[in-house]
Structure 1
């Protein structure tokens, strides 16, 4: 996929590009293996908020410029920022928190996110891809959740989602040893949904995003949120939403368009209304 790499400032940035109904969200600090700084976290939250707030956007694709997805936090920069009391993403309800854990004070993303990862994908990189809905990995990925090797605890969702995806034993294997594992292992553990040759991960992720963007936007959001409710609150809580949500969907303009398209034997033209 041909995407120009904007020249980032020294502290890195998040570069966005709109392709149709898809928002490409690029981690842009390749000279530092996309090591995360406070400015990058703030801009990522802004990008996720833009996705949710713009009715023309239906799907996000999180990707990274350069050879690596991310080597993790830029610890010297982050440590100094935290010591001074800095907050990268304010908990005032204005921004979508990219880790999507539902903390008080943060908005949760409603629209789908597809991640494309390559090369080194450590710590926060794993947590961001697990927070996405679908992940495509290049076959050259190197994964590691290595917080215990630094006397800290993973707090961006790894302790929640690794066990949910792979079971307790598999989660503990990688969380407690801080070992490095490859794309095949990530696929085995359901951390990623597809593995493709290196260099093809963004094309594959974008193709998935485009396919999602062709579907009825209201139904996509409702389906995604129902799955999350089932995971977080249990099947009975999710079932309670079936009838009221279905009633909202069936009385929408897109539901009528779906029927017309079926009768006229043509692709539907959904508007999200």
Structure 2
């Protein structure tokens, strides 16, 4: 894009129809995250949820690398004070359900490439679908810096890959590639480097063409099953389905089926 960047980095947003493309933009510093970038990322996630015309987010990064993680000189003082990087009241890009933060409701697809360390892994695990370039270099290396991963890696790596696989990478801080990330269910698709964003946008547009209310309900039910278990998630089946069945989109779904045409969903 060649957008001029602030010395502390920035988060750029581009509307592509129903897609909000959110770009991490600090390539000169391998997209290392500063407090400014955390705030702007939370604001971008809020925009996705708050604008009705937007249906899916795509998180990507400028340059050769997704992110080297935290910009420690700017973030370490906040960590020592116990301060949060994302201001309270915003959507938490890490989607941890912490008090004081909103949780994202709309789908997020992530495209990663090159160095994808620490925060980069946690951002992609907090999203819904991840497309990785085949040149990715992953590492959850907090133990090499004397700190612990607190953006969700200790939770989600074990949930996706089992505790043994999670601890192998969490405790060694080793570097692994896209093939290993795919094996561990950290990413859903691996493509040749340079094609990751196009593939993420293709998936996002396919999602955006479906019924928005049904997409949101489906995503939230999966999330509830992961966090609270299948029995709790099943309690939503009848009331949520009843609500969806009475929507204009459900009526359009039936009508388009009868008329043998693509549905035109409005999110109502």
Instruction: Give me the TM-score of the superposition, normalised by structure 1.
Output: 0.96
Matched, 1:51 2:70: no
Query: Measured at CA, do residues 87 and 168 of structure 1 come closer, stay the same or move farther in structure 2, by a change above 3 Å?
Result: closer
Render the CA deviation track for 1:3-43: whole Å, top value 9, x for unaligned: x2311110000000000100000000000000000000000
Kindly report the root-mean-square deviation, in angstroms, between the aligned alpha carbons of the 2 structures: 1.1
Q: Deviations over 1:101-126 (max 9, x none)?
A: 10011110010000000000000000
Summarize deviations over 1:134-164 as a string: whole Å, max 9, x none. Answer: 0000000000000011110000000000000
Return 70-79 or 165-174, whichever deviates more: 70-79
Q: Distance in 2 between matches of 1:5 and 1:157?
A: 32
SS in structure 2 of the partner of residue 31 of structure 1 = helix
SS at match of 1:14: strand
For residues 201 and 210 of structure 2, the distance between their equivalents in structure 1, rounded to whole angstroms, comes to: 15
Is residue 130 of structure 2 the alignment partner of residue 130 of structure 1?
A: no
Q: State how many pairs are aligned.
A: 268
Q: How does 1:84-233 map to 2 (within 5 A)?
A: 87-91=84-88, 94-233=89-228
Partner SS, residue 39 of structure 1 = helix
CA separation in 2, counterparts of 1:137 and 1:76?
A: 28
Q: Aligned partners of 1:200, 1:134: CA distance in 2, in Å?
A: 15
1:247 to 212, 218, 242: 242
Corresponding residue for 2:36? 39
1:271 equivalent in structure 2: 266
Cα displacement (A) at 1:89? 2.2
Task: Return 5+ residue gaps in structure 1 as ranges.
Answer: none
The DSSP-based 3-state class of the residue aligned with 1:181 is coil
Q: 1:85 to 1:179 in 2, by over 3 A?
A: closer
Aligned partner of 2:59 in structure 1 is 62
Structure 2: gaps spanning 5 or more residues: none
From 5, 8, 12, the counterpart of 1:8 = 5
Q: Deviations over 1:188-245 (max 9, x none)?
A: 0000000000000000000000000000000000000000111110101010000000
Partner of 1:52: helix, strand, or coil? helix
Distance between the aligned counterparts of 1:223 and 1:41, measured in 2? Answer: 28
Per-residue displacement from partner, 1:54-111 (whole Å, max 9, x unpaired)? 11000000000000000111101112455577654222xx310000010011110010
- Runs of 4+ with >6 A deviation: none
